[in-house]
Every structure is written in C-alpha cells, then in structure tokens.
Amino acid sequence: MKSVTIKDIAKMCGVGVSTVSRAINDKPGINAETKNKILKVIEESNYVPNNSARNLKRSENEIIAVLVQGINNSFFNPIISEFEKFIKKKKYTFILQQIDEYQDGVSVALELEKEKRLKGIVFLGGMFHNSKRKLDKLSVPFVLCTVSVPGKNLGRDIPSVSVDDEKESFKIVDYLCSIGHKNIAIFSSPEVDEGISYHRMQGYKMALKKNGIAYLDSNVYNLLDGNERYSEKSGYLTAKKMLESGSECTAIFAVNDSVAIGACRAIYEAGLKVPDDYSVAGYDGLDMSRYYIPSITTIRQPVEDMADATLNILFKMIDGDESIKQNIIFPGKLIVGESTKEI
C-alpha cells in the first residue's frame, strides 16, 4: 500500500504543503478551523510525518546567532548563558559569534545569514551605527541587547533592550559626591569611543555638574585598547598609572566591575587600602563584585530580565508579530558595597 505523503494531505485539505507543515509543527499563521481540519485528515489517513527530514530542516533553518562584541567582558557571560538556555528551550540551535572591536557587526551578520540560513540575530554589546541601506539587507529579525547606538536617524525602528547608561552612571557618581568625594577619577575609554564608556562618561559629567564640582581632564584615565579594554588587567594597569601620576583623587569610578576589581588590586599592591585610601565604584553588578573583598559598590543590571526580554522580542518578530514594544529600557539598582566610604 502506497504511503500517504504531506502533498497528499495538502491536496485532500485543499491547502498548500506549507500550511500542512504549520499545522503539524504547531506554528502560527494558520487559523484554528483549518488546523483542526488538517489534523483530522492526518489522523484518518494514518499519515506519519517524516521526522528525519523535519529534523534536518530544523537543524538547517532554526538557528539563532548571537554576535557579541567584547567577549572578554565578564558582564556578557550570564547573558550568553541565559540566551543559550532560552534558545534551546525553544528547540532552536544557538550559535555564538565573536566580533572584534572595530569589526562591522552587520557585515558579519550578513555573511552568517548566507552561510547558516539564520532565523534571527541578537547583537550583544559594542556600537551600532550602520546605514538604513545596510540594515535593510538583513532579511531576518534582529534585536540589539546592551548595544550603544549613537544619535543617528537610521530611518527605522531598531528593536533594543538596555539600561540607561547615562542615568545609571549619574546615580553612582552622585552617590560618591553625596558621601563627600569631590575629586573623583573615571577609568574609561577615550571620549571618541561611542560605546558604553561614552554614555557612562556623560553620566559622570552630569553628576559632577549637579554637585558643583569642576570636570578635569586630568581625572580621566583611559583603559587599554582592544579586547582587554574592560578586563581586570585593564583596571589594574590603569590604576597603577593613576597612582604613579601622584593624583589627589579620593575615589575612582570604573566603567565596569572587572575594571574596578583590577584597580583595587593595584591599590593594595601599592600598600594602600580600599576604601580607607581610595573609594572604588564599578558598574554592572557582576556576581564576583559581591564576593570580592571588599565587595564592590556598583550598579546592578537586571541580566536575566534583559536576556528574556531580548529573546521574547526576537521570537515574536520571527512569528510575525510586529505589534510588540521594541525598545525596552530597564532600571539599574545602586548596590552599596564595602569598597566606598564617607569622607
């Protein structure tokens, strides 16, 4: 007896093969009446879907790529872990692609899209300043997560999930001012960098201005170039440079926790103490900032919520839902640790 094929089912129901496939795989884009009709015909015909073919198609097509710029930044580790769990739970394949500091993420995404037949893309970290013409070449949905977007009109909505780096940096530097610090160093990237350092620098400046404190170029210390920019090593070497300069700062605002922890190490090696000689504040709220001695005063970003929001947006777009809120800004939380004290 000749076995029933998916084409036979489609012909019996008066629909296309793709509609039958949607019904079998419980995909959107098919009304309930048609779906029930197809499933009934399948049951009556004893049709058995070709699982090996379907799984092959899934492995080829149902892939989500996460393109991360700054993979050595410890902040991204828990986000990537959340992404992987979420994507695998959805029965999609997860691939992680590193982007170098000065590499164009969209160009990398276009190559991946061609090679892997992606279903969706997440851009994680770094900067995003591509033209509308280039963005329109991406044929699959994409979402930016914790990506800096310079103030340019790209001519289209860009789905994104982030915190307000200026607002949260203002919050932590304002806290340092409130406990008596008037000479505060910042460990950051050069101001020409339009990434996270730029926005956190703006928050730093706003807090100084609010508290009547002059901004001094001499209190700005640039981190290392390249992929190690936001590492413990970068904070360590930058703090050594500050200490050797004879700076009169009493506090340091490091643009992330890894940099703050590296700075603490350099201060201890110089025979000084945190927070007795220098208060040190970070940003991100990494787990290690809680367990380091002293625990780091920081801004905690809601990592799990941000990861879930990013992929909820992405999968809704994959399912054809364009009515979702596409730009989500989460609040950070000031965590006062042992690394800062009143003077």
Between residues 29 and 301, which one has the greater pLDDT? 301
The predicted model gives 14-28 an average pLDDT of 79
How high is the pLDDT of residue 56?
41
Among 25-39, 151-165, 264-278, the range scoring the smallest mean pLDDT is: 151-165
CB-based contact 257:285 (threshold 8 Å): yes
Mean pLDDT of the chain: 87
Torsion angle of C-alpha atoms 52, 54, 59, 65, degrees rounded to 10 = -170
Which letter does DSSP use for residue 46 in this model? Answer: T
Is residue 297 scored above 80 in pLDDT? yes
Q: Could you give the CA distance from residue 282 to residue 335 in angstroms, rounded to a whole number? A: 10
Q: Could you give the CA distance from residue 40 to residue 42 in angstroms, rounded to a whole number? A: 5
Place of tokens 């970068």: 234
Q: Is the peptide bond before 275 cis (omega within 30 degrees of 0)?
A: yes
Strand partners, 144: 123, 160
Pairing of strands 220-222, 251-254: unpaired
Q: Could you give the CA distance from residue 21 to residue 219 in angstroms, rounded to a whole number? A: 62
Q: Position 266: which residue type?
A: A
Estimate the crossing angle of helix 165-178 against helix 196-210, to 10 degrees: 40
Q: Could you give the CA distance from residue 284 to residue 279 in angstroms, rounded to a whole number? A: 17
CB-based contact 296:257 (threshold 8 Å): yes
**Distances from the Cα of 168 to the Cα of 4, 162, 182, 279, 336, angstroms:** 61, 11, 19, 18, 14
How high is the pLDDT of residue 333?
98
Taking only the tens place, the pLDDT of each residue in 125-168 is: 987 666 566 777 888 999 999 987 655 444 457 889 999 999 99
Q: State which CATH number among 3.40.640.10, 3.40.30.10, 1.10.260.40, 3.40.50.12280 fits the domain covering 6-49.
A: 1.10.260.40
Q: Could you give the CA distance from residue 208 to residue 73 in angstroms, rounded to a whole number? A: 27
Place of tokens 């926790």: 257
- The token pair that represents 219 in the structure block: 């209190």
Dmax over Cα atoms in the chain, in whole Å? 90
The CATH 3.40.50.2300 portion of the chain extends over: 58-163+303-330, 165-301
**Model pTM score:** 0.78
Look at domain 58-163+303-330 and name its CATH class.
alpha beta
Sign of the C-alpha dihedral computed for residues 230, 236, 242 and 245 taken in this order: negative
Q: Could you give the CA distance from residue 226 to residue 112 in angstroms, rounded to a whole number? A: 23
* Listed residue (127, 112, 94, 144) closest to 196, CA to CA: 127
Q: Could you give the CA distance from residue 176 to residue 174 in angstroms, rounded to a whole number? A: 5
Q: Position 3: which residue type?
A: S
Instruction: Using CB atoms within 10 Å of the CB of residue 157, give its burial: 0 to 12 exposed, 13 to 18 middle, 19+ buried.
Output: exposed
The predicted model gives 93-113 an average pLDDT of 87
Taking only the tens place, the pLDDT of each residue in 159-177 is: 899 999 999 999 999 999 9
CB-based contact 9:44 (threshold 8 Å): no
* Strand extents, DSSP E, 82-158: 93-99, 120-124, 142-145
Fold exhibited by the domain 165-301: Rossmann fold (3.40.50)
How high is the pLDDT of residue 2?
54
Taking only the tens place, the pLDDT of each residue in 231-263 is: 999 999 999 999 999 999 999 999 999 999 999
Taking only the tens place, the pLDDT of each residue in 168-219 is: 999 999 999 999 999 999 999 886 566 788 899 999 999 999 999 999 999 9
* Listed residue (89, 92, 82) closest to 161, CA to CA: 82
How high is the pLDDT of residue 22?
77
DSSP 241-286: HHHHTT---SEEEESSHHHHHHHHHHHHHTT--TTTT-EEE-SB--
How high is the pLDDT of residue 166?
95
How many residues are listed for the chain in this entry? Answer: 343
Is residue 54 scored above 50 in pLDDT? no
How high is the pLDDT of residue 53?
45
